[in-house]
Structure 1
Amino acid sequence: MELLLKESAKIIKKSNYTIAFTGAGISVESGIPPFRGEYGLWNKYRPQVLDLSYFLNYPGNCWGYIREIFYDFFADAKPNDAHRVLANMERNKLLNAIVTQNIDNLHYDAGNNTVHEFHGNSKKLICLKCGQVYDVNDIDFENIPPKCVNDNEILKPNFIFFGEGIPQEAYSNSFAAAQKAEVCIIVGSTGEVTPASYVPRTAKQAGATIIEINPEETVFTSVITDIHLKGKAAEILNQLGKLLF
């Protein structure tokens, strides 16, 4: 592992454009469970509550679950060392952009500035009628479903529901970054969710070196990964950070 870490640090230092591609695994250590897997949210909740058509038909029912999952249970989640190392990499000009599947805002909270949120952000709500965006801190969750002050329409969390497309700006920026990347660091993503998983694949096709940080092998490992740093995100990134800074 020590040799792989040193090799990874050397590659990153030489790179002119490095991106990180992050998934649920990086936020698990902040207390946010993934949606899928043995301890995933879909073992406790029905995915239907985040289906757009179901939400439009039964917003009150959906909002009860949405508040519990995203605004009661996860409200106090903080960035962990993995997030902080990536933020430090950006400050030290060793990381140019993050493409994240996560909706928890923790990369911004840690101090990153260039973050392409492929699936949106739970810290914002949007009115589907007029497009007004609200900060979650301005919402009274004692009264649900929350409504827009302009037209009294029910607000929706500004992240992707089943049945919705990827936001065009996030999609374009993510793949543009992938095409420029000389190094792509995968952190905590299994590669099972599309089209997000095409981002590191695009980087690989463009000639990038793929460094994967995951505790186990994933869909990426045998297909595009050049270096697999096997372990938890915070532990591996802390070790890598000591070699980079």
Structure 2
Amino acid sequence: MSADRGGAGAGAGARAGAASSGAAGEGERLQKVMAAAGVASRRVSEQLISAGRVTVNGTVVTELGRRVDPHHDLVAVDGSAVQLDPSRRYLMLNKPAGVVSSMRDEQGRPDLSRFTEPYEERLFNVGRLDAETSGLLILTNDGELAHVLAHPSFGVMKTYVARVKGVVTPQTIATLTRGVVLEDGPIAADKARLLERSAATQDSLVEITLHSGRNRIVRRMLAEVGHPVIELVRRQFGPLHLGTLRVGQVRDLTKVELGQLLTISREKPAER
């Protein structure tokens, strides 16, 4: 995996080179870089460093003279990753149903370009939601982070809320967590719960959490247990929650959200 500016998993060689150059007096002072990244003022950043709350490439740094390369070194404060590259952008979109997860659809269907046009950066989506599914989608220009979060080996948890046909029973919920066999192999939900059901309308609301990235997996699982999906929304992606963001709206991630996202993207799959 190649080193990316501020992205997940910069190469060990690049980190080692950055560390050695820092020791030689090259790079920028750590507290200056932290202040430029919006972590805190330079003085408060110095206090964080002196208190042993800052790491560079996984190693605690307490000396105020430490220099870093903001394009390669990975900095964290209290275990939460910090993005040092101000050119990176991270957005949350509540994708409407009927929009394909592509920046340009060759068939002329509504795509994601309408949501990225207002931004100067060349943005793209992290993973996909099928056209009929609405909900949380990340847009960014951080290719390294996008690759890591979308890769199956990282198994990022995703939570969906589905309105399905039929009255779902506790036995069906147990089947979803125990596992079902689909045409491309067995699959089990990490969590599943019944939110509501209506005998009058003959439908139910189900929440499913799973780490699989297989195509249309939630829809196929629910169809397999006899409850085809009427409506499907992704409410959560890793540490990010859709919250009150309305359908079709876009917003920047908060610093806390970004820190959480970068932190999990920098973990090795074995550690997860």
TM-score, with length taken from structure 2: 0.19
Q: Which structure: greater strand fraction?
A: 2
Q: Which structure: greater helix fraction?
A: 1
TM-score, with length taken from structure 1: 0.21
Who wins on radius of gyration, i.e. which is larger?
2
